[in-house]
Chains A and B, each alone.
Chain A
């Protein structure tokens, strides 16, 4: 099934390129070792043979479109990734007519850290990787096959996934231009759980002092590599406040207070726009639980404004508009 799907993807990508529909296909290819998958930027029909599709295709490729495109681009998108594309279209960072969305079905992606841990010493022995439904199959040197169940290494966001349908393909978008490879999705998705809420609730239930310590400890680990900002599909300002020097909001000096300011302001900037792809947390080398806050903020946005980011391009993010009836928690009408 996965092999057949990969073949279809390669054929469609080659066709898009040879027809001249797009100048580039952004997808996934194998990285330096068989157990790594990296983004692929394919510009020739022959190059499409490099494309792969499996549960290590963790990246949200929408992030490569956040500063616009030169010419038409096709992008491989899992259902949840389409939310970020909606966000970019909604905020006019991208032109719909320049974009071909290749939607692929998804059974969930692996948490790469858990996957590595599960693989352990076998890492160096892996010759090739394939996927059968929800099992990752690793052919090892010497003939053995290692089988890792996706459920054991599943990314947290996938365990909680509520977006198994692409959101971009709304009828109002006059499509017919996109390539749908996700129809007749046969695989059962992992059972949804409420772990995100539970994590946020667990922290919210802590005494205030403990909660403050928890986050201060987390932010004190930050090395301000800004990987979270770079990878975030909705973090697209040409000049980030953190890079401003006049006034210098965030000092260059190392310290929790500076890192905390950066993160808190970033959380506010993405509040009501964050599509919950969890890339910030995935790329964080210090494993700061960033999505716990972004999830919490999304939950607040849902409760206060009844809004879910990345569903339709017709809506406006909640902090970019208002209603006269808004009530606030300050007790003022």
Chain B
């Protein structure tokens, strides 16, 4: 994987956890925005992807993020009972629970996947979660290091969310 190659060329000290955050636009995304506009400091290691609802997050997205070199994935949606679409987060909760069980069984460290409920008002909570998760994943080290060399691997997959495919 491309990520492996990049990391191999760099001294270990340069490594920073790479975390992908899938945030619901109605709550956690606004919470992250609020944290920013309130000038709260938190580590810049989270790449945020805005989704319409935590129920929109297909486990495929998370597995793809790991495959593409993410060291951790943060999924955050509205508190139970607060979903904009009334029940998306309940479905998400079941899915993420099972996904986490599977990842653990397959050998991924369960702390690499985190589910949180963060409202638009909880800027402090968002900053705390990111800080905590970055610290935890930093302790675990690069996910790529847990993986064996993939001898047959050819070119890395192009990003599934390239400009063409989102049709802008």
Q: Which residues of A contact B (CB under 8 A)?
A: 200, 203-204, 208-209, 211-217, 220, 241, 246-249, 251, 253-258, 260-261, 264-265, 267-268, 271-272, 293, 296-297, 300-301, 304-305, 318-319, 322-324, 326, 328-330, 332-333
Give me the 9 closest cross-chain CB pairs, A-B, nearest first: A212-B107, A247-B160, A322-B90, A255-B153, A253-B154, A211-B107, A328-B97, A251-B157, A330-B115
Report the minimum CB–CB distance from B1 to chain A (whole Å).
6
A332 pairs with B115, CB closer than 8 A: yes
User: What are 23 A-B pairs with beta-carbon distances under 8 A?
Assistant: A204-B105, A208-B107, A208-B109, A212-B106, A212-B146, A212-B147, A216-B147, A247-B165, A248-B158, A253-B153, A254-B154, A255-B152, A257-B150, A267-B102, A268-B99, A268-B102, A300-B101, A304-B94, A304-B101, A322-B87, A329-B101, A330-B115, A332-B115
B64 pairs with A249, CB closer than 8 A: yes
How many residues does chain B have at the interface if contact means C-beta atoms less than 8 Å apart?
Answer: 44
A328 pairs with B93, CB closer than 8 A: yes
Can you add 6 more A-B contacts, CB < 8 Å, to A216-B107, A256-B152? A208-B107, A257-B1, A296-B105, A305-B94, A322-B90, A328-B96
Interface of A, secondary structure class, is: helix
A271 pairs with B148, CB closer than 8 A: no
Question: Interface digits, B93-131 against A, CB 8 Å rule (1 contact, 0 not)?
Answer: 111111111100111110000111100000000000000
Q: Which residues of B contact A (CB under 8 A)?
A: 1, 59-60, 63-64, 67, 80-81, 87, 90-91, 93-102, 105-109, 114-117, 146-148, 150, 152-155, 157-158, 160-162, 165
Once A203-B105, A257-B67, A330-B114 are accepted as A-B contacts, the answer to whether A319 and B98 lie under 8 Å apart by CB is: yes
